[in-house]
Structure 1
Amino acid sequence: MSAPLRVSILSNYTLDPLKDFLARELEGAGLAGEIRIGPFGAYAQEILNPESAHHRFEPDVTILALAPGPLFGRLLERFWELPAEARRGEVARVVEEIAALLEAQAARGRGVVLVHNFVIPSNPVLGLHDARDPFGERALIAAANAELAAACRKQSGAYLVDVEALAGRIGKDAWTDPKLVFLARMEVARGPIEALARETMRFIRALTGRSRKALVLDLDNTLWGGIIGEDGLSGIRLGDAAPGNAYAAFQRRLLALHRRGVLLAVNSRNNPEDAIEALESHPDMALKPEHFAAMRINWRSKVENMRDIARELNLGLDALAYWDDDPTERERMRALLPEVLTIEVPRDPALYERALAAITDFDALTLTEEDRSRGRMMAEGRARTQARARFETEDDFLQSLDIRATVSAPDAVTLPRFAQLTARTNQFNLTTRRYTEADLARMTQAGMTARGLRVADRFGDEGWVGFALFDRGKDGTRARLDTFLLSCRILGRRIEHAFLAACLEELRAAGVRRVEAAFRPSAKNAICEGFLAEVGFAETGSDEAETSYAIDLSSGSPAIPPHVAFNRDA
């Protein structure tokens, strides 16, 4: 069983109900959690004191929720008296203090910090004149939010929770209950706190690898209006005029999702020739065949097609989401494949784009080069699969790929990608330990050895696809493999064997003679259960939590498979 996710809530106002709402959200996501509420108003002391209860708790997630009233008290009370420059100075002071707390948390703590921004008031004290004032109340809070966002971007492991946008969606008047503000210093009403828990879970899902990775789409009355097999290419509704403009807007939003690294796939009961012609030839079609990582266009069961798509993409069913305008198909998918997130689609296509934009299951904490290139990489993967059929043996095929691998220590550019890999890689992941950028930076600064893997072959560049983390013993002759993982799209080419062998070779050259490792089973990583034994590790023990292994490097390290050529840039 995985260790509980520890969440510490620090605030300058009463936020106790968030604990129960968040616990319910964690349970619904299948996560065990421990949640603590820090002492009222003592957020700075909790972060700055390395012996505080907050740091002893060792949170995976720290929520820093600050209301502007206590922070800008002097400014708001004397708003009429202070000139614009003095107000700007107060904003800078407050944000600098928060930035210093984020830096202190990164240096002394672990995990991520979720920083709430401020709600812009609906009724500023200057009334209509607020917009004409050089730095009115609304402009002041907006500027504070912008500077706070910049501070979070600069600090590894800090992420901004857009409370201002959330309050806007709920309604500013509903966001607070004046009676609770006066009686209990509770700046957020109970109902909005429940919404705040759901917003927090967006970050936690991404942090713990529970985001969906692919969206599977129907075609008729989904990407276009009408039925392509009956209406023909000229009869389907797609374009600038209603109702086709709703489908065009939906496709543009899907294309944006694709560019964020979310895989798109098609699952449609249709004649494949008709559907492909529409995707390739319609002048208003934003999505083309190359935007889809997998396509099942046939008359088979959509449930069976969904299983095929998961296999082709090398993803678990719980990594897929499904969009179909047919309520019968949606109910069948929910009943037979409950792991798939089947989206409740609005009846009116005018609402498609809004409904898609509201889905938070595709969230990621970072957007990397690999995310932006994922569609291209999947197309290259299909080309590899097709090329395999031309070879009689697996060895001949692998040798033909001209695989070139680079092993490198993390730097400022690659560290976010390696943290993302620890968060999102579920299948080929020996221990499924999750780390943030700040965690990895702290561990490498403390002397742990981290190595990333980049792979290219004659079909294209796969990007950074692997990560290994070793804890070196004090005497330098022993090491423990803390983390070893590879992206699922790189599997099947024995690159995982080559990567670990290259790491072990480097450790042996540095004087390490024994490396210990473990396989910690999860619901998704059965694929790597026998991997350590395949590389040459011997089992040394086993219990319910893990199986332990070790390898003696005194007489040498495992051979690197000959079809992989390595460059080393440690």
Structure 2
Amino acid sequence: MTTAPARPAAGDLAELRALKRSGELCGAADRVRTVLGALGDPVDREAAGALLGARAARTALAASGAFTPVPLALLASATADPVPPLLTTALLAEGVQPDTATTGFNQWRFEILTGAPTLREHGPAVTACLLDDSAVFEKVTDPLDADEVVARCAAFPAELAAWLDAYDRHVGTLAVLNTVPLGAARRDRWVDYATRARVEAAWQRMNAAVLDLAERPNTVVLSVDAVAERGGARWAATDRMRHIAAHAYGQEFLDAYAREVARVVLARLGRAKKCLVLDLDHTLWGGVVGDDGVGALKIGGAFPGSAHRELQSLAKDLSRQGVLLTVCSKNDEAVAREAIDTHPEMLLRTGDFTAFRANWDPKPGNAASMAAELNIGTDAMVFVDDNPAERGLMARQRPEVTVVDLPADPAGYASAVASAGFFNQLRLTDEDRTRGEMYRARAERERLRETVTDVEDYLRELGTEITVEEYGPLNGARIAQLFGKTNQFNLTGVRYGADELARRVDEGTAAFFGVRVTDAFGDNGLAGALALVREPDGAWLIENFVLSCRVFSRSVEDAIVGLVLRAARDAGAPAVRGRHVPTAKNGRFADFYPSLGFAGGQGPDGDFRHDLTQLAELPGWVRVGPGEGAFHAP
């Protein structure tokens, strides 16, 4: 959630309407995102989404080139009309433009079991299926027969599993389900406590089994209770809306649900945030270290020290799951470091931070310099600062940085950061868990670079080794993550989901590979991914090639393509083709294939071609570990 100057919602909606009427939406993408991010009332958010989801507005925003298009689908067992416009608002604010297909009332089961005619034509990357208790009770003949209701609860999770099987066959992309709340209108019909408790116990067992479905690939299950709590709203619709509009869920809950589905979509697109930028004074600790001294800081113990320590604990846990921690503080650096490393109640030490800025420079500039140091985009950062003025300055000068709107009471700091879900992933990989160590090792590499004057000497001392790994169950999640999250060295911009990778491997229409990179300072993990297909003339096509920014400028990419060329030649292929499709972030690699001896790139498909007659030497400072020659096209 990015803060913006407080203004009446009516003024924000009027501004959006004026931009639409004047035809200026195309050139106002940044302003549109800012306005949408500032809207807090669900009614206003729905109105904004409906306004910007209309055909003319959609066309104008798409023409701006500032939004990533994504097809979505929504199924439901009750009326859920507010969700698509609410999704539009939530995702446009993050630079993503959804196109959400829906089906008729309570068609969630029929749509999939009849072959998904609507969804197959639309091709959604994510399908959300919002269920309420009518999905369970529609097959109950006597709602007062506790035996029948308990049996129905026991059978429902298996029915959902069968539904997911059909969805995988007909659509095959990410599905989002939810636990099913038991409404008061059904629960309170039983007048004896014993029966009511028995049914509720069966209902809770049912929802536990529904949550277990998240173990399936390509399945996310949301807890309705958790979504409602994060949204600060009861889940149930008012009785009047139940009768008038067949709503099972209230407006505020539907807004919270749309935001949660938006987080799932962002994770699916590799748009989850990577870096937590933390202030120190009055944020990670209570007090001002430069004025009060280290011993007077409030950390741990009684409130408010307990609240600041809770935020540190959250940051520590996030770092263990791959989130990069950085410091951005108005402070003297030596004093700040002393406090971090000597205060006995500090949970975080300087070694936990991958970048550190404690100075008197403006924080937006410090954030940008840390992003450059870490080789990430500032749009991957989340800024946490107790000072509203600092938050406002960051929002104005670096609108792409996500700014957490902290409450005035530090007791709510940790909850505000955790509940926002900025760092949510579909699946956590080993590389995610060790990302902080990898970035600290990167800093050591940079220090080595500074001590060596000759680039080749530096690269040889670095001792880089690459190992090719073919796609499989142990590395599939990471390979999908690389395709989904890599933006700069992503030669075509194609993002394969885990579902598509598995399906195409099973079909034999593509081969996927990961490339592990190690060096003298440690293991960078799987840092590259490659997709190969065989074309009708026998040539190999590098359908896409991505490489993590942390291993740029070491000739790793040259070595990988060199291995592909040698494998293709040895397999008797007539040529290897590569493709560069320009995106907003990969322009610096437009000449990558020509630099390796590929010709062409001028045709309608933009393909480059290497005829395999003259292969350049592999970079001498990149060793090839076990797996050389493993590249192949199906």
Same fold (TM over 0.5): yes
State the partner residue of 2:426. Answer: 365
State the Cα distance separating 1:24 from its structure 2 match.
2.8
Q: Structure 2 matches for 1:27-426, cutoff 5 A? A: 27-50=92-115, 52-75=117-140, 77-82=142-147, 89-121=151-183, 124-125=187-188, 136-154=198-216, 156-169=217-230, 175-426=236-487
Shift of 1:415: 0.6
Q: Which range moved further: 529-538 or 182-191?
A: 182-191
Question: Could you tell me how far apart the structure 2 residues matched to 1:364 and 1:469 are?
Answer: 23
- Structure 2 counterpart of 1:455, one-letter code: V
Amino-acid identity (%): 32
Structure 2 CA distance for aligned equivalents of residues 230 and 329 of structure 1: 19
Q: Is the 8 A contact 1:72 1:94 kept in 2?
A: no
Unpaired runs of 5+ residues, structure 2, are 1-64
* Counterpart-to-counterpart distance in 1, 2:276 and 2:268: 20
Kept after mapping to 2: 8 A contact 1:430/1:525 = yes
Distance in structure 2 (CA, Å) of the matches to 1:455 and 1:377: 11
Amino acid at match of 2:625: N
How far the C-alpha of 1:556 sits from its partner, in A, is: 4.8
- 2:93 maps to a residue whose letter is G
Deviation at 1:285, TM superposition (A): 0.5
Listed one character per residue, the Cα deviations across residues 328-355 of structure 1 (whole Å, up to 9, x for unaligned) are 2222222222221222222222221121
Give the whole-Å Cα distance in 1 for the aligned partners of 2:408 and 2:534: 58
- Letter of the 2:528 partner, please give it: G
Cα distance 1:234–1:167, how it changes in 2: closer, same or farther (>3 A)?
closer
Distance 1:202 1:302, change over 3 A: same
Pick closer, same or farther for the CA change 1:12–1:122 going to 2, 3 Å. closer
Distance (Å, rounded) in 1 between the aligned partners of 2:426 and 2:100:
21
* TM value normalised by structure 2: 0.83
Give, in angstroms, the shift of residue 18 of structure 1: 1.6
Shift of 1:291: 0.9
The aligned amino acid for 1:549 is F
Distance 1:292 1:129 in 2: 57
Whether contact under 8 Å (1:206, 1:365) holds in the other structure is: yes
SS at the partner of 2:413?
A: helix
Q: Give the secondary-structure state (helix, strand or coil) at the position aligned to 1:212.
A: coil
Tell me, what secondary structure is at the counterpart of 1:140?
A: helix
1:169 Cα shift? 5.0
Q: Give the AA of the match of 2:390.
A: E
Q: Are residues 125 and 329 of structure 1, via their aligned partners in 2, closer, same or farther at CA, if it must alter by over 3 Å?
A: closer
Identify the residue that residue 492 of structure 2 maps to in structure 1: 431
Query: Is 1:541 paired with 2:602?
Result: yes
The answer to whether the 8 Å contact 2:544/2:579 transfers is no
Q: 1:497 to 1:331 in 2, by over 3 A?
A: same
CA distance in 2, matches of 1:527, 1:79: 67
CA distance in 2: counterparts of 1:141 and 1:504, whole angstroms: 58
Q: CA shift at 1:282, angstroms?
A: 0.9
Tell me, yes or no, if structure 1 residue 550 matches structure 2 residue 634: no
Q: Does 1:562 align with 2:620?
A: yes
Separation of aligned partners in 2, 1:525 and 1:514: 25
- Stretch moving more, 180-189 or 309-318: 180-189
Question: Deviation at 1:101?
Answer: 2.0
CA contact (8 A) 2:272 2:380 kept: yes
- The one-letter code matched in structure 1 to 2:470 is A
Decide which moves more: 512-521 or 265-274: 512-521
Query: Structure 1 pair 44/474, CA: closer, same or farther in 2 (3 Å)?
Result: farther
Q: 1:187 to 1:76 in 2, by over 3 A?
A: farther
- Write the distance in 2 (CA, Å) between the matches of 1:76 and 1:230: 71
Q: What corresponds to 2:563 in structure 1?
A: 502
Show CA shifts across 1:475-511 (max 9, x none): 5x22222221011112121212212222332233233
Deviation, 1:516, is: 2.5
Cα distance in 2 for partners of 1:41, 1:318 equals: 39
Say which is worse superposed, 385-394 or 38-47, in terms of deviation: 38-47
What is the match of residue 518 of structure 1? 579
Q: Does 1:443 find its partner at 2:510?
A: no
Give the Cα separation in 1 of the matches to 2:154 and 2:571. 48
- Report how far residue 168 of structure 1 moved: 4.5
Return the TM-score normalized by structure 1: 0.92
Deviation for aligned residue 1:270: 1.5
Offset at residue 170 of structure 1 (A): 5.3
Task: State the Cα distance separating 1:135 from its structure 2 match.
Answer: 6.8
Deviations along 1:373-415, whole A, 9 cap, x unmatched? 1111111111111112232211111111222211011111111
> Residue 174 and residue 50 in structure 1: after superposition, are their counterparts in 2 closer, same or farther (change >3 A)?
closer
The CA distance in 2 between the partners of 1:342 and 1:42, in whole Å, is: 39
Secondary structure of residue in 2 paired with 1:91? helix
Which residue type is aligned with residue 561 of structure 1? P
- Separation of aligned partners in 2, 1:153 and 1:404: 34
Tell me the distance in 1 between the aligned counterparts of 2:328 and 2:72.
39
Most deviating of 28-37 and 198-207 = 28-37
SS class of match (1:358) = helix
Report the CA distance between 1:129 and its aligned residue.
5.9
- For residues 93-119 of structure 1, what are the alpha-carbon distances to aligned partners after superposition, in whole Å with 9 as ceiling and x for unaligned? 221121122122223324311112212
| Residue in 1 that maps onto 2:40 | none
The one-character-per-residue Cα deviations of 1:19-66 (angstroms, maximum 9, x if unpaired) are 222223333322233211123333334223447222122211111222
Q: Distance in 2 between matches of 1:320 and 1:56?
A: 36
Residue matched to 2:21: none
Contact 2:153 2:202 in 1 (8 A): yes
- The SS at the match of 2:96 is coil
Task: After TM superposition, give the deviation of residue 247 of structure 1 in Å.
Answer: 0.8
Q: Does the 8 Å contact 2:154/2:202 carry over to 1?
A: no
Residue identity in the other structure for 1:118: V
Q: Which residue identity does 2:621 align to in structure 1?
A: H
SS of equivalent to 2:501: helix
Give the Å deviation of 1:224.
0.9
Query: Which runs of no fewer than 5 residues in structure 1 stay unpaired?
Result: none
Over 3 Å counting, the alpha-carbon distance change for 1:88 and 1:551 in structure 2 is: farther
Amino acid at match of 1:262: V
SS at match of 2:451: coil
The superposition leaves residues 43-92 of structure 1 with CA deviations (integer Å, 9 ceiling, x where unpaired) of: 3342234472221222111112222223333448345441xxx6554334
Separation (CA, whole Å) in 2 of partners of 1:67 and 1:453: 44
> In structure 2, which of residues 59, 79, 82 is the aligned counterpart of residue 17 of structure 1?
82
Partner Cα separation in structure 1 for residue 192 and residue 462 of structure 2: 68
| Partner SS, residue 405 of structure 2 | coil
- Find the aligned partners of 1:468 and 1:429 in 2 and give their Cα distance: 10
Matched letter for residue 79 of structure 2: T
Counterpart selection for 1:469 from 528, 531, 546: 531
Is residue 458 of structure 2 the alignment partner of residue 458 of structure 1? no
Pairwise CA RMSD = 2.4
Residues 308 and 365 of structure 1, relative CA distance in 2, 3 Å threshold: same
Distance verdict in 2 for CA 1:43–1:512, change over 3 Å = farther
Report the Cα distance in structure 2 between the residues aligned to 1:533 and 1:422, rounded to whole angstroms: 23
Amino acid at match of 2:360: W
Report how far residue 306 of structure 1 moved.
Answer: 1.6
Distance change in 2, residues 1:180/1:319 (3 Å): same
